Structure formats: C-alpha cells, structure tokens
Structure 1
Amino acid sequence: MPNALVRAAAEGLPSINRRQMLHKLAASSAAATLAMVPAAPAAEHPDADLLRLDQEMLEAETRVELADKVCGLVGREADKLLDRLPPRPAEWKEPSMPDNIRDVLGSVLVRDLPYPERHPAALRDWHRSCEQQRAASRALLEAHQDKVDHIYREAGIDAAEDAYCARAAEVFRVCERILQTPANTAAGILVKLRAAEEINADALTSIVADIRRLAGEAV
C-alpha cells in the first residue's frame, strides 16, 4: 500500500531528516494556499492626487526648459544674421538751445508759455526744427527695428516664443490645480510649496487651511 510504504520509508530516516521533510511539505502547502488567495491592493497614498500633479508639474517644467533651449538656439542663429545689418542708429538728443533763442524765450510772458502759438517766430522755428529732427531719428530707429524683427521672424523666433509661452502656461495651470487641491500629509504640503515657488504664488492661505483641517478645526 502506498501510504504504508511512505510511512515505512519515513520511519527509516533519521529524525532530523523527517522534520526537514515535514517542514518542506508544510511550506509547500502554505505557498500553494497563498497562491490561491488574491493579493490585497496596496493602500493609496492620502495625497495621491497631489503626488500625481507633482509629476505632471515636473513633466511640464521639462517641456518649458526644452522650449527655452529652442528659443535660445533660434535667437543665437538670428544674432548671426543681425551682424550683417548696419549698426543701430543712435538715440536722438535734443540739442542745447542757442543763446539767441534762449534770449527770445526769456522775453516770452509767463502767461504765454503754455501757448506755443503766442511765442515769437524764432522760438517756434527752433522748436519745429527739433521736432523734425526727433521724427527723422524715430523713423530711422523704427526702420532698423523692422529689419531686426524680420530677421527674427525668418529665423523662427516668433514660433519658438509662442511654444515657450504655451508650455509656461501649462506649468501655471498645473500649479494652480495643485494649490486648489487639499493636502492631507506633509508630502502633499511640500508639493504645494514647490508649486507656489514655481509660479511665485502665495501658498500660505491654502496650506493654513490644510493644517487647520488636519487639526480638526472648522475651515
């Protein structure tokens, strides 16, 4: 009979070997039983939402850094093209008033100073000449700036800056969601602090509300 043979074989073994065999059989049985029982799901972190948002913030920050590098690359390429342009015209500065015109100005009555049409012709002509020089200088500066803007547009700086602004807006939106999400642990509060630092926001009100809620106070 098989069972009798097993017992007989077991009885013929030294006691230490019999204990080892029984231990192995028990362990195998327990392992088989555990394998049949489904594992209990791990408890979710109390601030799981904030931790997920923290990861979103890190990913959004990475995209901002990449967009910033693209802007820098495009800008450097555009700067090489700018070297081909003539130097930027100097800013216009109003010349010193000649002595004879200063004498004319001194002859103007105080009550007439706010009214240029009442000034002597020589004074009006001098002011008109200055205004014409200012306008001519402004036109030169604007023409030069138009050429600079054209070079940057051709290099793709507008598209690069638009992409950067879009990525930065993503970071801001994620940070706002973080600050609007209640924290339940110190880890969650740290996420809020990082978000506040990222967008230079005041997280104190939000975090104080978290602390009061955790302390059992009415918020």
Structure 2
Amino acid sequence: MRRLVLSVFLFLFSFAAMAADDTAALAERRDFEERYKRMVAELEDMKDAYRALQKRTSDLASEVARLRDENLQHTQAQTKYATREDLRKLVEKMQEIDSKRESDRKLVLEQLEKLANTTANSFAALESRPQRRQQEEEKKPVPPPVDPNQEYYTYVVEPGNTLSDIVNAYNEDFKKNGKKRITVQQVLQANPGLKPERIFAGKKILIPVPGPQ
C-alpha cells in the first residue's frame, strides 16, 4: 500500500512538474510569438516609412530639377535682356565716341592748319631774317682801319663761319706764302666793336696782313 501510495505520489508529482513545465513553455512561446509579431509589424512600418521617404526624395529631386530649369531659363532670359540692353548702350556709346572723335578730328585739323600757317610764316621770317641781315651787313661800309699803315684784306663772312675758322683759314694761306700767323685778338683789334659770337653772314671784316716770317 505504501508502495502504491508512494508510486501514485511520485506520478502526481511528476505530472504536476511536467504540467508546470508545459505551462511555462507555452507562456514563453506566446511571449516570443507576440514579440515576433510586434517586430514584423514594426518592420513593415519601417518598410512603409522607407518607401514613403524614397517617394518624397524622388519628388523633392524632381522639384529641385524643375526649379533649376526654371531658374536657368530665367537667368538666360535676364542675360539675353541684359545683353540686348548692353548692346544698345554700347551702340549709343560708340555713336557718342564717333561724334566726339569727329569733332576732335575737325578741331585737330584746324589746329594743325593754324600750326602749319604759323610755322610757315615763322620759317619764312627766319629764312628772310639772315638775308635781310646779310643785305644790311653788305650795305654797311667797311670800318676804317685802326692803323692806317697796316695792310688789310676785306673778308665777307659766309654762312656758318666763325672768327676762329676765318683766322685759321687765313693762317694756312699766310703760311704757304711765307708770312707770319695772325691771332683772333689781332682781328678784333682791327675791327673795333666786333664780337666773335655775333658774326653774321654778309658782314665785312678786316683781316690784317702780317709781315714775312
């Protein structure tokens, strides 16, 4: 009897343990299934959100492309308008420049004509001045010699002559003829008032003739 009771007790205890184990396992399985369902639902929500984000991104990209095209067209239109306006201003500026250039050209031509007339008159005056001076000098009589006993040559100054050149030329001639040299000072003494820096073409000066060497 004891053995039977003990056996029944052991069986009931084992059954109770198994039943407890099955209940715990079932509860755990149900909890796992609930969590799995929640994860699947959340994953589906994430997929929907991702698809919505992709669509929104695509829509934004299309909007940006449209706005870029509109902005480009607007910019090109503004550029074309600015180019036409700049071209109009450029044409007006060129016309203004041409007008001023024509006025300046006329003014320059007038000034050049005046300058040419003035220059021609100045050159004519300069050319005639030596001639008049030469004629005046030629009309002047030869100054009387300081020493009446001295022999003199009368020399008419030519254009470009200097007193030193004249004296050197005469000294070469005197040397060939066996005569002494003369100095510039002797020529100045023979021509009272004569200044070496003011010898003009046509002026007559006395050249003293030296004695033999």
TM-score bracket relative to the smaller structure: under 0.3
Q: TM-score, normalised by structure 2?
A: 0.25
Q: TM-score, normalised by structure 1?
A: 0.24
Which structure has the highest strand share of the two? 2
Bigger relative contact order (CA 8 A; separation at least 6)? 1
Determine which structure has more spread, i.e. the larger CA radius of gyration. Answer: 2
